[in-house]
Amino acid sequence: MTIAMPARPLRLTLRSDDHLPPDISWRIDDGYIRANTWNVEGESITLGIWGPGDLITPTGCGVTPYELISLARVSVEEHHPSESDVLDFLRDQITQTTQLLQIHRIRPAEARLLHLLRWIGGRFGRISSSGTTLSLEDMNLTHRHLADIAGMTRVTVTKALTRFRSQGLVVRVSEADLLVPRDPGPLSSASLPFPRTLRHEPPAHQNAGIRTP
């Protein structure tokens, strides 16, 4: 008699900018994945970003092309999601895409980048009374990656970050970490309204019982 051994889940390790098969459900053990499509001009459009502990499932949203791209070194494991898992992912996908579309409508471009940094910090950063700290190094958020996500050029991102630091809109707290203070300074919400949906608690913070300031 032959005893069938249970199939082991597939595990993958990816480098930055590697592609993850989008037709399989994955649990992220380490690293960050972004979902991308692009328009007829070939411009990249980011639909969402997921990090450690998050589940990614095939969306069935009909968006083509649809790519899952690693931001940094990523470890994932194949996962068999429940119906509830799939629904939770689809809700998160829709929420993220909506929020990113709102950010893309912000003008000028520098204000858009600042709001994007706050959004990323709200999902993956450390929130304190001083503001939100995020690690660009851990997420491998290079100026090129930030430019792709924000719909800007790399040069514009570099110039904007330099100006933000000089004006105290962001503060370098280490070689890898940036603090985005709670007080937005000259780019205040009075002149540039922050999309209301972005004030909602990120899913990760809700699960941890953390309230976003």
Q: Please write down the HEC assignment for all residues of the chain.
A: CCCCCCCCCCEEEECCCCEECCCCCEEEEECCEEEEEECCCCCEEEEEEECCCCEECCCCCCCCCCEEEECCCEEEEECCCCHHHHHHHHHHHHHHHHHHHHHHCCCCHHHHHHHHHHHHHHHHCEEECCEEEEECCCCCCCHHHHHHHHCCCHHHHHHHHHHHHHHCCCEECCCCEEEEECCCCCCCCCCCCCCHHHHCCCHHHHHHCCCCC
pTM, two decimals, is 0.79
Q: Which tens digits make up the pLDDT trace of 4-34?
A: 445 678 999 999 999 999 999 999 999 999 9
Average pLDDT, the chain: 83
